[in-house]
Amino acid sequence: MYSTSLRVGFVPGVEPDRFARRWKSGRREAWLELIAVPLSRQLAALESGEIDMCFVRLPIDAEALHVVPLWEERASIVVGDEHVLSVLEEVHETDLVTETELPSEDPDDAAARVAVAATGVGYARMPLSLARLHHRKDAVHRPLVDADPTRIALAWPRADDDESRQEFVGVVRGRTSRSSRSVR
């Protein structure tokens, strides 16, 4: 039925299901396989050929990659549910001046920082999608309204561009088989 497969990675916080549904609703020559990729391995997984494309969190060293910026993620903080900041609907940088930040020590430490923040010792700064992914009953997340957002993009090696990848870009961009726009 399928002549090839297209392996698409995605970093934590990205939910590629809607793109998979669109892909599978059309008659495609390639089978779509979704593969979770740790943030720390997003570039290495592409370079090694473990995956064909990846939903990445920018910035990424994109010299040898096609990179299609897609959407922005709101910045947020996570605090324990009894922390003074938990009563706010949204947080500003000025609200954080006297608070203790739990800095990221590793690109893949969001869950651990949420667990520490839940104890009430400080706040963890991260994209809202990661805060939601690692939600706990003893922690809350709040939008950080005056912080820069992060950006999600679709990336793949320039040397490996092909029709299936271009077709997937079209799916992600919302083009349908009835679209008059070409995928290239």
The order of strands in the sheet holding 30-36 is 30-36, 4-10, 53-57, 150-157, 65-73
Q: What are the structure tokens assigned to 144, written together? A: 């950080």
Q: What is the CATH number of the domain that holds 87?
A: 3.40.190.10
Mean local confidence (pLDDT), 13-27: 92
Q: Could you tell me the residue range of the domain that residue 87 belongs to?
A: 75-143
Asked whether residue 181 is domain-assigned, the answer is no
Which amino acid, one-letter code, is at 9?
G
Distance CA 73, CA 61 (A): 19
In the predicted structure, residue 37 carries a pLDDT above the cut 50: yes
Asked whether residue 167 is domain-assigned, the answer is yes
Residues 67, 80: one domain?
no
Our measurement of the distance from residue 99's CA atom to the centroid of its chain's CA atoms, rounded to an integer in Å, reads: 27
Mean local confidence (pLDDT), 86-101: 97
Global confidence as pTM: 0.89
Residue 59: cis peptide before it, omega within 30 degrees of 0: yes
Residues 118, 100: one domain?
yes
Instruction: Kindly give the pairing relationship between strand 4-10 and strand 150-157.
Output: unpaired
How confident is the model over 157-181, as pLDDT tens digits? 999 999 999 999 999 998 755 554 4
Instruction: Kindly give the pairing relationship between strand 4-10 and strand 30-36.
Output: parallel
Residues 58, 108: one domain?
no
Confidence of residue 182 (pLDDT cuts 50, 70, 90): very low
Report how many domains make up the chain. Answer: 2
Residue 152 CB-half CA count within 13 A? 22
Residues 63, 22: one domain?
yes
Query: Of 29-33, 57-61, 92-96, 171-175, which one has max mean pLDDT?
Result: 92-96
